[in-house]
Amino acid sequence: MDPRAVGAVSERLTVPAFDLARAARRIEGPLADRWARLLERTAFVGGEEVQEFEEAFASFLEVRACVGVANGTDALVLALEALGVGPGDEVIVPSFTFIATAATVAWLGAVPVFADVDPATLNLDVTDAARRVTPKTVGVVGVHLYGCPFDVRASLELCAEHDLWLVEDSAQAHGARFESRRVGGFGRLATWSFYPSKNLGCFGDGGAVTTDDPELAARVRLLANHGATGRYRHERVGLNSRLDALQAAVLNCRLPLLDEDNATRRRIADRYRSALAGVGGIDALAEPVDVESVVHQFTVRSERRDALQASLAERGVGSAVHYPTPLHLQPAFAGRGEPPALPAAEAAAREVLCLPVFPELSDAEIDVVISALVHFAGTGE
Ligand SMILES: Cc1ncc(COP(=O)(O)O)c(C=O)c1O
């Protein structure tokens, strides 16, 4: 790449961290058709759109069942509740993730036990998790952070050894693969968010629970519909947490594009990675062998993260910090005794920065991001 050309481009272009309008334009036609059909049928809750999506997503993941729910947080609550999590239970979760992974455990009256993360991937450190198993531990929730699968094999071995279940929080990893198989079918249950910025996002809130166990799927579906087994007959106390038909229509338009979109994200990641190979002080996270990340985020680490973010912003490049505080240090989890020392999660919170990566990003925009990174590394500002 000729640096002068990049300089010329950067004067014209700013690069957003994310741009949903571009994704929306790509499905304008098919979405208008589906919405018109929905308006005609007035099937706004449940109905064919939701069923079509549940079947298509289960088949995409090669799992037996998918239950659409209202969002990824409810998906976790319902999955944990279906497994019987309640007061007195301990559930091991990584400390470096979105709060929903742990808050849902606490919401059900159980204790989230925070484990540290692997410094190379920022995913659950299974060796650290193993040290935190007690007689009260009932399960582990792993997170495929930034679209990169956690070590499912080691997690399953840990669970088998102590008779625990594994739940995959797959909110950031639609389509990712571990040992060639898509994530979402390894744990007893997997939970999904379709928040608009996700690789498979709708235009509001949406979520799902997937599993190979039809009985567990039926339990989730029951709990998500006020435990109703008939009209005004309620077998269990539950929630109203259903996937909206309008959102299912968006997902039905976007699911067929997902594999190609994920491949585009991987190509963008390759370009960033090659550019960073010759640059000191900014390191991309590792992608382990045997996994295929779907690059929900392209995350770098720098000891001068805040200066890097400011410098990128000055050159018109958006970026984001996911996450500035590890969960064991969040006020929401204070008052439960001295928080553990989790050095890898704490360092990650100080150093991570997520660069623009979405399928509609243009080559010229990628050039601008790369030139801004090179500029920062070269000038130290
Ligand atoms: C890892 C993880 N888990 C759970 C959630 C919760 O999903 P939702 O925002 O749809 O409730 C998110 C959403 O950002 C997430 O990133």
Instruction: Return the H-helix or E-strand segment holding 248.
Output: helix 245-254
Structure pTM?
Answer: 0.95
Q: Which CATH number fits domain 3-14+258-379: 3.90.1150.10, 3.30.70.120, 3.20.20.80, 3.40.50.970?
A: 3.90.1150.10
Distance from Cα 375 to the centre of ligand 1, integer Å: 34
- Closest by CA to 53, choosing from 240, 246, 197, is 246
Looking at the DSSP bridge assignments, the partners of residue 323 are: none
Distance from Cα 76 to the centre of ligand 1, integer Å: 9
- Determine the pLDDT at residue 228: 96
- Determine the pLDDT at residue 92: 98
Stretch 253-263: mean pLDDT: 98
pLDDT tens-digit readout, 270-313 = 999 999 998 889 999 989 999 999 999 999 999 999 999 999 99
Confidence tier at 10 by pLDDT (50, 70, 90): very low
The CA distance from 94 to 116, in Å, is 6
- Closest by CA to 94, choosing from 38, 22, 146, is 146
Structure tokens at 317: 């490049």
Question: What ligand 1 atom has the least distance to the C-alpha of 71?
Answer: 10
Distance from Cα 367 to the centre of ligand 1, integer Å: 30
Q: Quote the percentage of the chain above a pLDDT of 90.
A: 92
Which of 189, 195, 247 to mutate to test ligand 1, by most ligand atoms within 8 A of the CB atom? Answer: 195
With a cut of 80, say whether residue 7 has pLDDT above it: no
Residues near ligand 1 (Cβ within 6 A): 71-73, 97-98, 100-101, 143, 169, 171-172, 193, 195, 205, 207
Stretch 200-229: mean pLDDT: 97
With a cut of 80, say whether residue 97 has pLDDT above it: yes
Instruction: Return the H-helix or E-strand segment holding 281.
Output: none
Tallying the residues shown for the chain, one arrives at 381
Question: What ligand 1 atom has the least distance to the C-alpha of 197?
Answer: 14
Q: What is the 3-state secondary structure (H, E, C) of 90-119?
A: EEEEECCCCCHHHHHHHHCCCEEEEECECC
The CA distance from 303 to 346, in Å, is 12
Contact 341, 328 (CB under 8 A): no
Please tell me the residue having the least CA distance from ligand 1 atom 12: 171
Domain 26-256 bears CATH identifier 3.60.15.10: no
Of 10-19, 246-255, 292-301, where does mean pLDDT reach its minimum?
10-19
- Determine the pLDDT at residue 380: 55
- Determine the pLDDT at residue 46: 87
Stretch 198-206: mean pLDDT: 97
- Determine the pLDDT at residue 12: 56
Distance from Cα 72 to the centre of ligand 1, integer Å: 5
Confidence tier at 381 by pLDDT (50, 70, 90): low
The domain spans of the chain are: 3-14+258-379, 26-256
With a cut of 60, say whether residue 4 has pLDDT above it: no
Please tell me the residue having the least CA distance from ligand 1 atom 10: 72
Cβ atoms within 10 Å of 280's Cβ, excluding its own: 8
Q: What is the mean pLDDT of the chain?
A: 95
**Max CA-CA distance within the chain?**
71
Distance from Cα 97 to the centre of ligand 1, integer Å: 9
Confidence tier at 43 by pLDDT (50, 70, 90): confident
Which of 69, 73, 192 to mutate to test ligand 1, by most ligand atoms within 8 A of the CB atom? Answer: 73
With a cut of 70, say whether residue 11 has pLDDT above it: no
- Determine the pLDDT at residue 9: 43
Confidence tier at 243 by pLDDT (50, 70, 90): very high
Distance from Cα 38 to the centre of ligand 1, integer Å: 27
Q: What is the DSSP string of 33-44?
A: HHHHHHHHHT--
Please tell me the residue having the least CA distance from ligand 1 atom 8: 72
Which of 98, 105, 145 to mutate to test ligand 1, by most ligand atoms within 8 A of the CB atom? Answer: 98
Contact 197, 18 (CB under 8 A): yes
- Determine the pLDDT at residue 337: 85
Q: Give 293: exposed, middle or buried? Use CB within 10 Å, 0-12, 13-18, 19+.
A: buried
